[in-house]
Each structure stands twice: as structure tokens, then as C-alpha cells.
Amino acid sequence: MSLPNLLWALVAFTCLGPGMAQTVTQTPPAISVQEGKAVTLNCKYSTSDTSYSLFWYKQSPSGEMIFLIHQNSFNQQNTIEGRYSVNFQKASTSISLMISASQLGDSSMYFCVLREEGSGFNKLVFGIGTRLFVQPNIKNPEPALYQLTSPKSSDTSVCLFTDFDSSDPSGSNATVLEMMTMESKSYGAVTWGSKSSFNCTNSFQQSDVTLTLPSGSTCKVKDVQQSFETDKDLNLMNMSLIFLRIIFLKTVGFNLFMTLRLWSN
């Protein structure tokens, strides 16, 4: 056997191992849950090894795999790590990941991973993943449509569609807004145009900004014309605050300088 073929055979043996009977199956491929509720992600596996470990990973938006929890095959007690816990059933070759009190940040792709240890190769077998969508807990939504027109050009308008709920987990172009002072959440979406014929009422019906609302829901929007003018009082307050900070820093610097000078003498 030539050297290149020998190297390829060695790589294949190292990655696949002698058994080649290992599988990891995750169903369903996607699942959604209301914020604050518990959710369970299912995973089944098959292996001919008697010693193995099972892992759950979460994939961040950047693609990084974040370790969550793991379970050894010889451990009879299910592992618990904070809000994460597993239900390991060795006889039925299954392990479920349970997430309690789900949060918006839990929306991600989750992977079940099998690692065989008895063969000595410690190879990893990944499932195809389960996409989790966490729906925000929006209370008493009051949809409103606002049109903001630039004072410099009446042709430039921005449309803000806010304070609505949605049953579409993909959210389209909608973004969840969290009002910390009001302790509430809602969906919000923005679109804009640079033509005098631009109309906010029809802008969200375009294919690239279509929003899916729950079936049977009514959306009574109001079209409010406003401008981009900045609040003059707010600007004055900001300038005053900056001026006071400069005076404070100069005072501290002068006191520090005089203290060091006295010490040096």
C-alpha cells in the first residue's frame, strides 16, 4: 500500500473506529416554548461500547459550541447543572435535556453528542441538532404603527411597528424589545423608504418585511406623523452634565497635584 493510501486509512480508522455502529438521533428538528416554561429536548443513540459518555452542547450565533452538561454511562444518577438536567435511560439508549424556566437567550441550536471511551479512541458522534425557539411572554399587546419623517427631506420616512405579539418563532424581521423600567416585552420592527409615495400602512406587507401575526388576531394600528428633531431640552441637560463633569475632573486633578506637591516638600 502506498504512503498516501496508508495515511488515509489511518485517518479513517481513527475517526470512525472499528465498530462504525454509532448513531445519535435528535427529534424533532425544531421545537418552541413560551418564555418561563420548561422544555425537553430528546435524543436517542446506539453504540456497541459499554463505556461511554453523553454530552449536550449549545451553539452560539458565532458558531462556538458551548458545553452545557454531560452524563457518564456508569452513573445511575441523572446529572443536574443549574437550569439544565438530563433524563438518562440506559436501557432504552436515550437521554433528554430538560431546561427549566426558559429564557430568551436559550433560543439556539442544541446538539446531543456521544463519546465512546472503551475503544480507546474517544471519538465524538454528533446528532443533527434541535433548534429551540423561546417565545417572549408578551402581556396585553397594543400594536401601534408610527411614521417618522425627516425634517430635512419629506421623502425620507421610517416606519416603526411595535408592541405586538407573534406566533411565528422565526420572527421574520421582528426583534424582541425588553422594556426594563416597565418590566414588559414586545416585538418591534422597522422599515424605511426614500420616496414621497412611501406609505407605512403597506410597507410591512412587502415580502422582505412581512410579519406573521396569530390567526384571528386584530391589529388596530394608528399612523402618527412625527419628525426626527432632537429634544432641545434633552440636549441642554446633556451639555450641562458634561460641563459639570469637566469641572469635577479639574477639581480632583488640582487637589491631587497640590497633595503630591506638599508631600514632595
What is the dotted CATH code of the domain comprising 144-230?
2.60.40
Q: Do the two domains 22-135 and 144-230 of this chain adopt the same fold?
A: yes
Asked if residues 62 and 13 have their Cβ atoms less than 8 Å apart, the reply is: no
CA distance 133 to 103: 10
Asked if residues 200 and 223 have their Cβ atoms less than 8 Å apart, the reply is: yes
- In order along the chain (265 residues), what is the average pLDDT of each group of 10 residues? 38 44 89 93 91 92 92 90 94 94 92 81 86 83 70 66 58 51 64 66 50 42 47 72 89 89 84
CA distance 68 to 222: 45
Domain boundaries 22-135, CATH class:
mainly beta
Q: What is the pLDDT of residue 189?
A: 73
Q: What is the pLDDT of residue 240?
A: 84
Q: What is the pLDDT of residue 116?
A: 83
- The residues spanned by each domain of the chain are 22-135, 144-230
32 phi/psi in degrees, rounded to 5: -125, 155
Q: What is the pLDDT of residue 43?
A: 96
Residue with cell 441642554: 236
Q: What is the pLDDT of residue 197?
A: 64
C-alpha cell at 22: 454509532
Q: Exposed, middle or buried: residue 69 (CB in 10 Å: 0-12, 13-18, 19+)?
A: buried
Q: What is the pLDDT of residue 135?
A: 84
C-alpha cell at 115: 463519546
Q: Exposed, middle or buried: residue 91 (CB in 10 Å: 0-12, 13-18, 19+)?
A: exposed
pTM of structure: 0.58
Q: What is the pLDDT of residue 71?
A: 94
Q: What is the pLDDT of residue 75?
A: 87
CA distances from 36 to 3, 28, 39, 111 (A): 58, 21, 9, 22
Q: What is the pLDDT of residue 154?
A: 61
